[in-house]
Amino acid sequence: MATLDSCGSPDHQLIRFIPDEDLVPGIATWKPSLCTMCGAGCGLLVRVMQGEAEVVHNGQNGLVQMGLAKKLEGNPNHPVNLGKLCARGQAGLQVLYHPDRLRNPLKRTGARGSGQFQEVTWDAALGELLAQLSALRTSDAGALAFLSRPLQGQRRELVERFLKSFGAPPAIAYEPLDEAVLRQANLLSFGHSQLPTLDLARADYLLSFGADFLGTWNSPVSQSIGYGEMRQGRPGRRGRFAQIESRMSQTGANADEWIPCRPGTEGVLALGIANVILQDKEFVHDAHSRPASLIAGWSDGLPDFTPEMVEKQTGVSAAAIARLAHDLTHSGLGAVIIGGPPLAHTNGLFNALAVNALESLVDAARNQPALLSFTPAVPFASAAAPSAKGPQSSFAAINALSQSVLSGAAHEPKVLLLDNANPVFSAPPATRMPEAIAKIPYVASFGSFIDETSVWADLVLPDHAPLESWLDDVPAAGAVSMVAGLAPPAVRPLHNTRAMPDVILDLGHQLGGSVAAALPWKTYDEMLQAAFLPLRKHPGSIDAKDDDEFWSKVQQQGGWWSVPAANGAAGRAAANAGSGSAAPAAPAAPPGARAAAKFAEPQFDGAPNDFPFYFLPYASQALGDGSLAHLPWLQEMPDVLTTAMWSSWVELNPQTAERLKILPGELVEITSQHGSVRAPAVLSPGIAPDLVAMPIGQGHINFGRYASHRGANPLAILAPLTEAETGSLAWAATRVKLARVGGVDQANLILYAGGMSGFPHEEEPHR
């Protein structure tokens, strides 16, 4: 009904193509899909209605009636998000309809990195890539590299098979804020290389070390659902939580108690709290529990971590430490979690192990079932198991890639297949990613957008948007049951794009030999079907009499899970209670010959005299790690703590600002040993005076019309320090100096004032 009055519409000149599908106009159908806006793996329902789209068929412009995605909601049956969806998830629609999405394969015409391409046919594009791959396979198969963001579900399996049979090294995955440290800590402490699932709905007390669990960390929707229940879901019983962090996050803003702690000493604070609990004779302690045995001095009662000693190191008062210990052990069911900045120091693994040990101490002391559990692995046939292993995001791997290219090592990559990873934007400058990418002789990208990395491509083979694709995802956290999300395309492709997995299959088949043999499926959905059908014999959400019915029900339901569908938050709690305490029940394999972890002072890049401030880049509430900066809804969503939109900013303590004579909104420059960025100042009482913080997300130079040339990128001044044991990027380990460089008029801070201003000025050009 909202169609334009057709009389007088310029659209009227276009021819109309015969529609491929017959839909009843005005009637919405709801199709399951999966959210790919972060790694949480939430289920979606897509509201699809008939509409008229401008398309190109065989080179001719025209109009066609087709099903169009109008709104995304959470899938009420999906165990992770139970019908709910966050702001970033809602904006997934704008990925589908983005005006800068690539519509055809592209071949480079200008110089490398110039961004000059011409559109080519799929036949031409695939032919060119195939020629490259064939030549490489006979000469130097090990010189093929595949770089992506962490791949979900069977996509990962497909790419691994392709690379292995080709003779290439394993795929490299990279995203700047990865969770490798916590995964490793949980493997050591609990035997699970995963992030934890929190049962907040039953929690009476939560102590969070830096985890932005209501905003950007782990599985935010699942955790927010539980949070609501924790606060007000049980009459007369309100759960409380304390947040330890030096810069108040959206999560910290909701805490009952917000406690700043010197960056990198969070593990010390955890052990200080453990010290108090261990001294308490009220509780029986097991000094030999697996998480505890990983910490040096635990069996002696952590003598080096008395509250007074911890106060000196962390800046948290001994009284506060004692109170936290008391609250943890005297508030019903309690839990301790860690995430975000405390892990992003050179001693991040120690911080995580210390917090894990405290968590298990609290559980054991109170003899309570753990509120932390680990989502069980889906029983896929072993060959098809996309469990929580395989190529996770790795800073070390991408650094090695860059070094091998730049140093001309043997088997340096000659052909790079790029799938949505954007290390040129997100890796620290010392990795010299732009140089490395430029030096790789041939780069082909599957991404849907030109970004700072894919602009270097020689060939672009644009993937479908997620809502146009077969999707599968096995969430590693956020549910107590096994979950394998799956969805067929919710809408037909709008542009001349092809699904990346199908392109890989096509290339593999044409390469022939062992590669073709390793990929026995004609299409990706065949591969998915082969992986999912064996789940039928496991008790779960689908009751089917044969494979066909099972497969069709998996598609209708948006996946398979090991509990009956639609039992809501209560069901989640019940399932968790039934499954018992997952954390202590972890595989009992000993941590091996590992030396017990000792606290090491966190290392920072930059001498404190020259660079007096700790620097904290943090995941933006709207733009995540910057990969969502191209979406206008998220750009215009006011940051909830600052109300800033379309902007970068630097958060400063008002005392700091006063000392440096910086007024709100003025332009400041942050300088590290690796570069400097400029952004307007925002004064915030929720940040320590010796810390400056900046949201990640802006500062793109080449990421579509809504993100390019806007704000500054804090990742561009990071030092390449890594967590000592895991090699993960220590993104909170850079020190900076700060100076005012301009007034408000030179900065470009846009705040949402909460209303509208006056009539357009006379001098404003009329539109």
Q: Does 568 bind other proteins (CB under 8 A)?
A: no
Q: How many residues bind other proteins, per CB under 8 A?
A: 139
x/- letters, 671..690, toward other proteins (CB under 8 A): -------------xxxxxx-
By CB under 8 A, name the one of 379, 654, 675, 727 that touches other proteins: 654
By CB under 8 A, name the one of 32, 43, 79, 89 that touches other proteins: 89
Smallest distance, Å, CB 744 to other proteins? 12
Q: Does 214 bind other proteins (CB under 8 A)?
A: yes
| Alpha carbons 745 and 743: distance in angstroms, whole number | 5
Smallest distance, Å, CB 359 to other proteins? 22
| Alpha carbons 678 and 667: distance in angstroms, whole number | 7
Q: What is the dihedral of CA 697, 702, 707, 708, to 10 degrees?
A: 110
Smallest distance, Å, CB 198 to other proteins? 13
Q: Does 100 bind other proteins (CB under 8 A)?
A: yes
By CB under 8 A, name the one of 260, 493, 501, 508 that touches other proteins: 260
Q: Which is nearer to other proteins, 57 or 522 (CB)?
A: 57
Residues 6+ apart with CB under 8 A from 697: 620, 622, 623, 624, 625, 626, 628, 629, 648, 711
Q: Does 643 bind other proteins (CB under 8 A)?
A: yes
Determine the interface stretch with other proteins among 394-402, 454-462, 572-580, 583-591 (rule: CB under 8 A): 454-462
The distance from CA 528 to its chain's CA centroid, rounded to whole angstroms, is 23
Q: Does 446 bind other proteins (CB under 8 A)?
A: no
By CB under 8 A, name the one of 254, 289, 567, 673 that touches other proteins: 254
Q: Which is nearer to other proteins, 688 or 736 (CB)?
A: 688
User: In sequence order, what DSSP letters do the residues of 212-232 get, joined into one string?
Assistant: -TTTTSSSHHHHHHHHHHHHH
| Alpha carbons 223 and 221: distance in angstroms, whole number | 5
Contact 126, 506 (CB under 8 A): yes
Segment 348-407, which members bind other proteins (CB under 8 A)?
Answer: none
Q: Does 592 bind other proteins (CB under 8 A)?
A: no
How deeply is 607 buried, as exposed, middle or buried, from its count of CB atoms within 10 A (0-12, 13-18, 19+)? exposed
Strands (E), 533-666: 559-561, 613-619, 644-645, 650-652
| Alpha carbons 535 and 13: distance in angstroms, whole number | 52
Segment 17-76, which members bind other proteins (CB under 8 A)?
Answer: 17-19, 22, 24-27, 49, 51, 53-57, 61-62, 64-65, 68-74
By CB under 8 A, name the one of 78, 137, 155, 240 that touches other proteins: 240
Contact 109, 117 (CB under 8 A): yes
Q: Does 661 bind other proteins (CB under 8 A)?
A: no
Segment 688-717, which members bind other proteins (CB under 8 A)?
Answer: 688-689, 701-706, 708-710
Segment 597-626, which members bind other proteins (CB under 8 A)?
Answer: 621-622
By CB under 8 A, name the one of 80, 450, 505, 721 that touches other proteins: 450
Structure tokens, 333: 């069911």
The distance from CA 123 to its chain's CA centroid, rounded to whole angstroms, is 34
Structure tokens, 637: 């969503």
Three-state SS annotation for 403-453: HHHHHCCCCCCCEEEEECCCHHHHCCHHHCHHHHHHHCCEEEECCCCCCCC
Q: Which is nearer to other proteins, 58 or 139 (CB)?
A: 58
Count of other CB atoms within 10 angstroms of residue 368: 17
By CB under 8 A, name the one of 351, 360, 541, 635 that touches other proteins: 635
Determine the interface stretch with other proteins among 113-121, 297-305, 400-408, 472-480 (rule: CB under 8 A): 113-121
Q: Does 633 bind other proteins (CB under 8 A)?
A: yes
By CB under 8 A, name the one of 124, 381, 640, 663 that touches other proteins: 640
Count of other CB atoms within 10 angstroms of residue 116: 12
Count of other CB atoms within 10 angstroms of residue 22: 7
By CB under 8 A, name the one of 7, 383, 588, 595 that touches other proteins: 7
Q: Does 756 bind other proteins (CB under 8 A)?
A: yes
By CB under 8 A, name the one of 645, 660, 739, 741 that touches other proteins: 645
